[in-house]
Structure 1
Amino acid sequence: MGGLKTLTFELANNMEGKIPPEICLLRESVVLVSFRGQLQLKGTIPTEFGLLTKLTELGLLSTRLVGTIPTEFGLLQSVTRLMIANGHLSGHIPSEIGKLCSLSALVLTKTDLAGSVPIEIVQLPGLLSLIIQQCPGLNTEDALQEVVQRTQQLETLSFSSRTLGEEVPIPSEIGTLTDLKFLSLMDWNIHRTIPSQLGKLEKLVRLDLHGNSVSGTLPEALLELTNLSGLNLGSNKLNGTLRSELFSKLTHLRSLQINGNNISGSIPTEVGLAPGLKTLELQNTNLSGTLPEELLALEKLTSLVIMNTSLSGRIAEKLCDKMLQVETRCFGRQCYGVKSKNSICQETFLCGCRCSPCPVN
């Protein structure tokens, strides 16, 4: 291997056994190590990983590794992406990772890690993406406070499944993260209303607050996020109406999920002003009225879910034909028609297409 300049080392199969410490012999050539897939790797992470000085990306995904993250990871000065997921690693996040000046992305998913997120990591000047998902032992509440106070360059921030501590509000300082493009605090035990400062995140393209206790009406701040393509507010405690401005101002929307809230009123006719909308989930709400014909303008619509609502009335023939072309549609009851055997209506709807009546039972 004397003339070898780079080596991408990627494993995605049913390999078993331990990671050999001899991997350090490749320290002058390896730039990427990715263990992923259905690996049966066991044992601990070799401390010799710290000798891979040329390494720019390290992924330990879907393994059965145990033990702790070696402090020697702090020697990987060339690493830009560090990803650890689906393992049984425990202990704390070593503060030595905060010495990785080249690190731009840290991803920790489904681990048994516990304790705090070292402030040294939050303060890394080049950190653009911080993702900690389904690591209930980690204190992401304090981590978020450190993030909003000590960094401004983050583009992706995703914390989920916080089980420690009481319900907390979204900090108003969130508005300082003006470079954010992706923000997810899913299942994070949030309560109260969405702060107005969220509207300062003008670059945001996806916002996910699913599975919290966010209350109040849909705030004006959301309408200022004109670059938003994905908005998931499902399974919260929101009330009020489905604001027409969501569609007239957020014209880049591709996905809107407000299911599982106390939203009432009708679906606004302005829904047709978001022509790129692909997913619309409004199930388990108090919405009423009829389906607006303006849904016909949503040529890219592939998923419409409105079951368990108070929507009713006649579905116009053109709209009914349109719904038969939607890949995923959950209206609550089956409509056995000559055009399709798929589900398009519930007992409160009267189809405009040439279908037999919806079954009563």
Structure 2
Amino acid sequence: MRSSLVLWPSFFFCCYWACLSFNVSLVCGDYVHCLAQQKILLLQFKKILKFNPADSSKLLLWNENSPCNEWRGVSWDEEGHVAGLDLSEESISGGLDNSNALFSLHYLKHLNLAFNNFNSVIPSRIKDLKSLTSLNLSNAGFVEQIPMEIAQLTRLTILDLSTSYYLGVSSLKLENPNLVTLVQNLSEVRELYLDGINIALQGNKWGHALSSFLPHLKVLSMSSCNLSGPIDSSMKNLQNLSIIRLERNNMSAPVPSFFAKFSNLTHLDLSSCNLRGRFPNNIFQVQSLTSLDLSYNYGLQGSLRELPQNGSLQTLILSATSFSGALPPSIRNLWKLSKLDISACQFNGTLPDSMLDLPELTYLDLSYNNFTGTIPSFGMAKKLIHIDLSQNNLNGGVSSAHFKGLVKLVSINLQDNSLNGSIPRSLFSLPLLQSTQFSNNLFQGHMDAISNVSSSMLQVLDLSHNNLRGPIPQFIFHLRGLKVLQLSSNKFNGTIRLDMFERLQNLTTLDLSNNNLSIDANIKDANRSSFPSITSLMLASCNLRQFPGFLRNMSGLTKLDLSNNKIAEKIPRWIWELGYLGQLNLSHNLLQEIETIPYNLSSYSKLYVLDLHDNYLQGTLSVFPTLASYLDYSFNKFSSVIPPDIGNSLSFTIFLSLSHNALYERIPLSICNVSNLQVLDLSYNNLSGVIPQCLAKSETLGVLNLGKNNLSGNIPDTFPPSCVLKTLDLSSNNLEGPLPKSLSNCTTLQVLDIGKNKIKDQFPCLLKTIPTLRVAVLRRSNFYGPIGCPKMKRMTWKMLQIVDLAFNNFNGTLPGRIFPTWKAMMLDRNQTASKAHQLDFSFFGSSDHYHKRSGNDLG
């Protein structure tokens, strides 16, 4: 025993001597060896790197006084060389070039620099790391061409150069050298990740390169690489493939059937590849397949006729494809299925009861299909978290049995169906349910009283657009966690006191619009901060006769809709002082005046939507929030000039309507400074002078309506080649001269109304190249000559539905050959009635309807 104790000091002395003699650091407790020279190289590497110490969890711990085992991100081989380096997510922003000591770590096998921001090219000295077997430079901020030198790393088994593909632009490219040159010496590679790199090769070139030079490939990930198809048949030689990710490339071809012969295939992602043709059904039979994503291939057809016994599929995503047919009873075979998304397809039929036999199902989206019949009970799917059955033709009520036992259910979306009956009260007893969306159905009747809901976790309750009636159920006021409550467009009735909602302290969105309710807005203590968390309040059509006083205390309000009420007061000054208010709709009221604002509204208002249309507002037009993108002051009684500097106040405006007022004098030239304007409606006023040439020059305007004014002069001949006009209405003015030739640049024009002017010109053959034209009104002007274009054998206006040439000076015979070419005027025999009487053009939620003129409007 004594001799053993004597030996221990000798052992430690030998260890110490070895460290001094061979420059080796030995930490006996953890058995970590590291050569001192290797530590020096790492410290030199760190010294010239640029990184944020506050965000570093690895580099910050490297220093010459700390032992090797405390250098995070570094692994060592048995001889003390650096074998692995993981500096991913270290907030490195630069310092890696060919002079860096990193490239002297010749024993390095694993290098991971992912998720940094080097903002430089990949150094060519990467070739010096010849021992590398895995290289991960993904999302590290490297730019431009991938260097040829990576092809010299012939021991690589894993290569990841993937990068983010932001707004269709790749920061890395593989052009010269191209993919063929890169991989021709990398025969040991098993996993290849090149996502987001601009490779831009055709299918035969990239497919042949992979199959010829990477025979052992197991993982292929090349999404968003600007690849084109078809997928080359030589790819069938890669029998070891288990993961294939080629999403967001333009294959423009069918899915190859040889994928079904990959016996190890587990993941196949071909989403957003512009695939077409019929999907090979035998791919569903691959027993190893766990994930299949074919979404957003609108031309890809297929069905789910027979699904394999004991299939391994856990994720099946077919959304936004042309898959069709019924869901088969064999859906039960996918007993491991966790996520099923077949939304926006063409599936039909009833939902099979076999869906009850999917015990692992957590996410189910069947929205935007043609499913009919009743909803099966999902009571056996106890792990279900999300259901979306919206936009189908499902009917029948939803009973308590449908969701009985789904104690883990978190979200239900059944909106936009034809469901009827009553809302099942059992939903409110599901302990984990957070979101219930039943809008746009046929639910009706009174809602039953429900007790003991105070422990409910419900955060979203959307029952809007149904036929629910009676008073608002009292149990709703006890859903303490509720954040979003939408009850609009029902038949709820009675008087409701708004202070009843004060107990819902987490409420952010409240919508009671369009019911038969009368709102009692009087709150006893209006000076205290009522509804502190509400950001969106919609009380349209609620029989309000005054502004609720408590609103002035709702400092966090971002959206307020009090439209279609009977408010006849002044618009109060304090409403502009709600510092976060972004959307305000006071339309369809009895408002007559805007209370004086003694300071500059533009300097502080955050309003980007302001709708005051259809009131009795009068006086000077003056309120223009600087950040507004949507402004509608139409159908009022404003009587003033348009402010000369209006364009300097509306830098962000997209929609501006001042129509149906009593505005006068000229259109100010500054209106052309509104560089983003897409809809401008100044019709039905008393404006005079000429049309500013800059309005015709606009490259953003889609709707320009200056009709029913006193404008004079010629129509400006300044329409640009990039014209995007869809509606041009200059009717009922005093405009003269010919039609401007540059109007032919507006190749998307749908509505042209220049009637009731003094325009003198021949039949507008200059518009013959506009195939989108649907309405052409030239009535009561000075057009003359023959109707039609003699040099044209056929007219190109196939979309034309309304043409009005009355009260002009046309002569000659009617050219009968042009009428058969106006196909949009022909009655569709598959429909019960023609829809030619009305066109609907929508811009930012506002619809302009152009109706066919009746016999009473021919004068």
TM-score class, shorter-chain normalisation, is 0.7 to 0.9
Partner of 1:162: 345
1:68 counterpart letter in structure 2: P
Deviations along 1:252-291, one digit per CA (max 9) or x if unpaired, are: 1122211111112345545936732232222211223215
Partner of 1:208: 388
Partner of 1:77: 240
Question: Using a 3 Å threshold, how does the CA distance of structure 1 residues 84 and 332 change in structure 2: closer, same or farther?
Answer: farther
Larger radius of gyration: 2
Partner of 1:141: 303
What is the 5 A alignment of 1:124-203?
Answer: 124-142=286-304, 144-145=327-328, 148=331, 150-163=333-346, 167-196=348-377, 198-203=378-383
Q: CA deviation at 1:239?
A: 0.5
Q: CA deviation at 1:332?
A: 3.4
Q: Is the 8 A contact 2:486 2:511 kept in 1?
A: yes
| One of 475, 480, 505 as aligned partner of 1:298 | 480
Distance (whole Å) between structure 2 residues aligned to residue 280 and residue 9 of structure 1: 45
| One of 10, 17, 24 as aligned partner of 2:183 | 24
Distance (whole Å) between structure 1 residues aligned to residue 473 and residue 498 of structure 2: 9
Q: Is the 8 A contact 2:445 2:468 kept in 1?
A: yes
Tell me the secondary structure at the aligned position of residue 168 of structure 1: strand
Partner of 2:422: 241
Q: Does residue 264 of the first structure (1) align with residue 448 of the second (2)?
A: no
Q: CA deviation at 1:217?
A: 0.8
Distance (whole Å) between structure 2 residues aligned to residue 111 and residue 132 of structure 1: 8
Partner of 2:537: 344
Partner of 2:462: 281
CA RMSD of aligned residues (A): 3.8
Distance (whole Å) between structure 2 residues aligned to residue 212 and residue 254 of structure 1: 23
1:243 counterpart letter in structure 2: P
Distance (whole Å) between structure 2 residues aligned to residue 271 and residue 94 of structure 1: 57
Q: CA deviation at 1:232?
A: 1.3
The alignment's TM-score, normalised by the length of structure 1, stands at 0.79
Deviations along 1:181-202, one digit per CA (max 9) or x if unpaired, are: 2222221221111234x43333
The alignment's TM-score, normalised by the length of structure 2, stands at 0.36
Which structure has the higher relative contact order (CA within 8 Å, separation 6+)? Answer: 1
Tell me the secondary structure at the aligned position of residue 303 of structure 2: helix
What is the 5 A alignment of 1:55-74?
Answer: 55-56=218-219, 58=221, 60-61=223-224, 64-71=226-233, 72=235
Between 211-220 and 82-91, report the one with greater CA deviation.
Answer: 82-91
Distance (whole Å) between structure 1 residues aligned to residue 489 and residue 386 of structure 2: 26
Distance (whole Å) between structure 2 residues aligned to residue 114 and residue 271 of structure 1: 53
| Structure 1 residues without counterparts, runs of 5 or longer | none
Question: Using a 3 Å threshold, how does the CA distance of structure 1 residues 138 and 262 change in structure 2: closer, same or farther?
Answer: same
Q: CA deviation at 1:177?
A: 3.2
Q: Is the 8 A contact 1:193 1:216 kept in 2?
A: yes
Distance (whole Å) between structure 1 residues aligned to residue 261 and residue 452 of structure 2: 49
Distance (whole Å) between structure 1 residues aligned to residue 480 and residue 488 of structure 2: 19
| One of 97, 110, 114 as aligned partner of 2:259 | 97
Q: CA deviation at 1:161?
A: 1.8
1:262 counterpart letter in structure 2: L
Q: Does residue 4 of the first structure (1) align with residue 133 of the second (2)?
A: yes
Partner of 2:404: 223
Aligned residues: 351
Question: Using a 3 Å threshold, how does the CA distance of structure 1 residues 262 and 353 change in structure 2: closer, same or farther?
Answer: farther
Distance (whole Å) between structure 2 residues aligned to residue 310 and residue 272 of structure 1: 24
Distance (whole Å) between structure 1 residues aligned to residue 458 and residue 360 of structure 2: 24
| Structure 2 residues without counterparts, runs of 5 or longer | 1-129, 135-157, 306-326, 553-560, 566-588, 590-859
Question: Using a 3 Å threshold, how does the CA distance of structure 1 residues 293 and 131 change in structure 2: closer, same or farther?
Answer: same
Tell me the secondary structure at the aligned position of residue 60 of structure 1: coil
Question: Using a 3 Å threshold, how does the CA distance of structure 1 residues 98 and 271 change in structure 2: closer, same or farther?
Answer: farther
Deviations along 1:296-334, one digit per CA (max 9) or x if unpaired, are: 4332x33333222223431452524637x5334444389
Question: Using a 3 Å threshold, how does the CA distance of structure 1 residues 28 and 100 change in structure 2: closer, same or farther?
Answer: same
Q: CA deviation at 1:53?
A: 3.6
| One of 102, 115, 119 as aligned partner of 2:281 | 119
Partner of 1:251: 431
Distance (whole Å) between structure 1 residues aligned to residue 354 and residue 432 of structure 2: 26
Identity of aligned residues (%): 21
